[in-house]
Homo-oligomer: A and B are copies of this chain.
Amino acid sequence: MKKIVNEDTDCPIKRTLDIIGGKWKLRLISQIGKETRRYGELKKLIPEISEKMLIQELKSLVAFGIVKKKSFKEIPPRVEYTLSEKGFEVLPIIEIMKEFGKAN
């Protein structure tokens, strides 16, 4: 009998895509990686992302606990982004996607 289980109810892939899906998030996570990145660096690393989208996606990644944001009370203000523990759990997904991208 073929498996026709309606996967809508609590689908783990949907859950993952809610957190790290879309055009930019995996690329941002990959660029932060094990480094500490500032906003300007990320903009340089992914030039085709708009300022608005970069701010929005970083905000979402921080809200989901994937990225940690550290602000320094300096003039001009300094903000640094690093991966959280949960963020490091995404790196194996990125590695396997890189392999697929290289092979295809």
Which A residues form the contact surface with B (CB < 8 A)?
2-8, 11-17, 19-23, 26-27, 30-31, 35, 41, 44-48, 86, 89-90, 92-94, 96-104
Question: How far does the Cβ of A61 sit from chain B's closest Cβ, in whole Å?
Answer: 13
Q: Quick one: copies of this chain in the complex?
A: 2
Residues of B within 8 A of A20 (CB): 100
Which secondary structure dominates where chain A touches chain B?
A: helix
Complex-state Cα separation, A3 to B46, whole angstroms: 13
Complex-state Cα separation, A7 to B96, whole angstroms: 17
When the two chains form their complex, are residues A101 and B44 in contact, meaning their CB atoms are under 8 A apart?
A: no
Given A7-B27, A8-B47, A98-B16, A35-B2 contact (CB < 8 Å): yes
Residues of B within 8 A of A99 (CB): 12
When the two chains form their complex, are residues B96 and A96 in contact, meaning their CB atoms are under 8 A apart?
A: yes
